[in-house]
């Protein structure tokens, strides 16, 4: 039996194997980790918080979903698919992708959204619609009936 230093509890070999398996499965490639860090950093800035100060993962995930309608892993997958298919709008950035997802989630008036993000209306409009069109271009890769399994 092993002892975890953090919890000072005795663990059985079976639970130790589950922990190893869980840690192994949750590892991402380094470039994906960097994208995730950048996405969450820019999300915190949009929330008017310090980009470097994190809270619990559950609170971060909840706030992220409330603002953008999906989790940070989905946004990182979307970003990598946009890059891979070479359909990114000119002057694209992760921050601007988050603006577009915020727009799609809220779909409020332009003035309210621009005040919430604190940017110019024209830049906001052009950026959001450019990303929406880019996302529409990769629709066949994101939504595929071949990958879906229907349960009756």
Instruction: Report residue 37 as tokens.
Output: 């860090």
Nearest CA to 106 out of 95, 117, 96 is that of: 117
Residue-range domain boundaries for the chain: 12-139
d(CA 137, CA 131): 10
Structure tokens at 68: 């953008």
Note the pLDDT of residue 19: 43
pLDDT surpasses 90 at 33? no
CA distances for 126 relative to 40, 90, 103, 119, 133, angstroms: 23, 11, 12, 12, 11
- What is the model's pLDDT at position 32? 77
CB atoms within 10 A of CB 103: 22
Does residue 146 have a pLDDT over 70? no
pLDDT at position 8 is 45
Question: In which band, very low, low, confident or very high, does the pLDDT at 29 lie, cut at 50, 70 and 90?
Answer: low
Integer Cα distance of 16 and 3 in angstroms: 10
pLDDT in tens, 94-141: 999 999 999 999 888 888 888 888 889 999 999 999 999 999 998 877
């Amino acid at each position: 039996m092993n002892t975890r230093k953090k919890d000072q509890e005795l663990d059985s070999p079976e639970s130790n194997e589950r922990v190893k398996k869980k840690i192994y499965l949750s590892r991402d490639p380094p470039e994906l980790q960097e994208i995730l860090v950048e996405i969450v950093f820019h999300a915190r800035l949009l929330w008017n918080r310090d980009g470097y100060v994190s809270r619990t993962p559950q609170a971060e995930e909840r706030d992220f979903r409330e603002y953008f309608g999906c989790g940070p892993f989905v946004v990182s997958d979307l970003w990598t698919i946009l890059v891979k298919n070479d359909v990114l709008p000119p002057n694209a950035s992760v921050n601007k992708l988050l603006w577009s997802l915020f727009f799609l989630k809220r779909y409020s008036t332009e003035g309210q959204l621009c005040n919430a993000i604190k940017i110019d209306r024209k830049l906001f409009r052009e950026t959001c619609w450019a990303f929406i069109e880019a996302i529409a271009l990769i629709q066949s890769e994101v939504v595929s009936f071949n990958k879906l399994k229907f349960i009756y």
